């Protein structure tokens, strides 16, 4: 079931199974994947994402990953703690406010996957919608949606958990992929609130909570829409090439060759995105041409 309110399309996530969530993912690009298109991911590259989206390769299964599991659990706690966190205060300034009941805002989970008809290829799974109105509740948001009214947040909330060692790698203390992801999550709300901005609340595993605020720049909005739109066209073309290839009874190798003629190009500069792209292509080449069982695994440990 999906709910349409103006340009918004909402898919309820309450009681949504993993299979249903994966099914929805097939029809768009998650906002959390957008940083990959800008070579900002430390785990993935545009080329690898392209082949995952056309189901030519399988994505990594993180369902049993310890970091992902506990990160998601902790995020639920940090979202509530962020009600009390003062943006101009010191780190962990929320703890005393919690004991005193001094709530500063309402940062609320929004139990829907969000799509917008203006850029239907993007899917937004926000951690929370932020409101200066301290009285508003998550049930109020659900009631608004059920009555045909789209909530108008003052800001978008993203929760991240991070090892302090990872934090110290970045001058800002924040992985550069996170602001790009947060900027993407602001996009569908621009018409409702032109002043929308993002706040990333970060919990470090040395028991420190901090934050990173960002304003949405017009040039960044245009860039995200343009780059993600072009990538979506690549996905559509990739699916078409495979469909036509199977109709013509081409071999898998021929289809792979046809796809390689237009898949996302590695960046020209020496960058993480280029490195990840080359590693991925090397791995796929090794798999395709390996004649000794297991040799691809041995080689990949050396790449």
User: Domain holding 84: CATH number?
Assistant: 3.90.320.10
Give the per-residue pLDDT at 275: 61
User: Rounded mean pLDDT of the chain?
Assistant: 85
Closest CA to 67 of 153, 172, 164, 162: 162
Residue 265, in any domain of the structure: no
Residue 252, in any domain of the structure: no
Instruction: Flag whether pLDDT at 298 surpasses 60.
Output: no
Residue 210, in any domain of the structure: yes
Q: What is the average pLDDT across 136-143? A: 97
Instruction: Flag whether pLDDT at 268 surpasses 70.
Output: no
> pLDDT tens-digit profile of 2-11?
999 999 999 9
Residue 171, in any domain of the structure: yes
Specify the pTM: 0.84
Domains held by the chain: number: 1
Residue 118: partners with Cβ closer than 8 Å, 6 or more residues away: 7, 188
Residue 291, in any domain of the structure: no
Give the per-residue pLDDT at 278: 67
Which of 108-122, 252-266, 275-289 is most confident?
Answer: 108-122
- Between CA 187 and CA 189 the distance in angstroms is 5
Higher pLDDT among residues 292 and 128, named by residue: 128
Instruction: Flag whether pLDDT at 214 surpasses 70.
Output: yes
Residue 35, in any domain of the structure: yes
What phi and psi values does residue 145 have, to the nearest 5 degrees? Answer: -60, -45
Q: What is the average pLDDT across 151-175? A: 87
Burial of residue 278 (CB within 10 Å: 0-12, 13-18, 19+) is: middle
Instruction: Flag whether pLDDT at 74 surpasses 60.
Output: yes
Residue 301, in any domain of the structure: no
Instruction: Flag whether pLDDT at 301 surpasses 50.
Output: no
Structural domain span for residue 198: 3-218
Alpha helices in 108-151 (DSSP H): 138-146
What is the token pair recorded at 50? 């392209």
Q: What is the average pLDDT across 138-155? A: 97
- Between CA 229 and CA 268 the distance in angstroms is 21
Element (H, E) at 96: helix 94-100
């Amino acid at each position: 079931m999906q709910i349409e309110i103006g340009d918004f399309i909402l898919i309820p996530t309450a009681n949504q199974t993993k299979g249903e969530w994966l099914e929805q993912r097939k029809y768009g690009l998650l906002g959390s994947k957008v940083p990959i298109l800008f070579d900002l991911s430390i785990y993935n590259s545009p080329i690898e994402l392209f082949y995952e989206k056309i189901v030519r390769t399988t994505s990594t299964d993180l369902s049993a990953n310890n970091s992902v599991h506990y990160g998601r659990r902790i995020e639920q706690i940090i979202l509530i703690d962020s009600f009390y966190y003062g943006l101009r205060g010191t780190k962990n300034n929320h703890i005393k406010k919690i004991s005193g009941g001094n709530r500063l805002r309402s940062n609320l989970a929004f139990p829907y996957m969000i799509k917008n008809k203006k850029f239907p290829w993007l899917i937004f799974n926000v951690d929370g919608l932020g409101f200066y109105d301290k009285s508003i509740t998550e049930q109020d948001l659900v009631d608004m949606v059920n009555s045909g009214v789209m909530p108008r947040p003052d800001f978008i909330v993203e929760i991240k958990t991070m090892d302090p060692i990872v934090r110290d790698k970045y001058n800002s203390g924040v992985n550069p992929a996170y602001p790009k992801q947060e900027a993407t999550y602001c996009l569908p709300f621009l018409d409702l609130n032109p002043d929308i901005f993002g706040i990333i609340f970060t919990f470090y595993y040395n028991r420190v909570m901090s934050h990173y605020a960002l304003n949405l720049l017009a040039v960044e909005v245009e860039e995200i829409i343009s780059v993600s739109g072009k990538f979506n066209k690549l996905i559509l073309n990739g699916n078409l090439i495979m469909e036509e290839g199977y109709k013509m009874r081409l071999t898998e190798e021929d289809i792979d060759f046809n796809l390689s003629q237009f898949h996302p190009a590695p960046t020209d500069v020496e960058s993480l995105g280029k490195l990840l792209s080359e590693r991925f292509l090397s791995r796929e080449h090794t798999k395709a041409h390996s004649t000794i069982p297991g040799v691809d695994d041995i080689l990949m440990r050396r790449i």
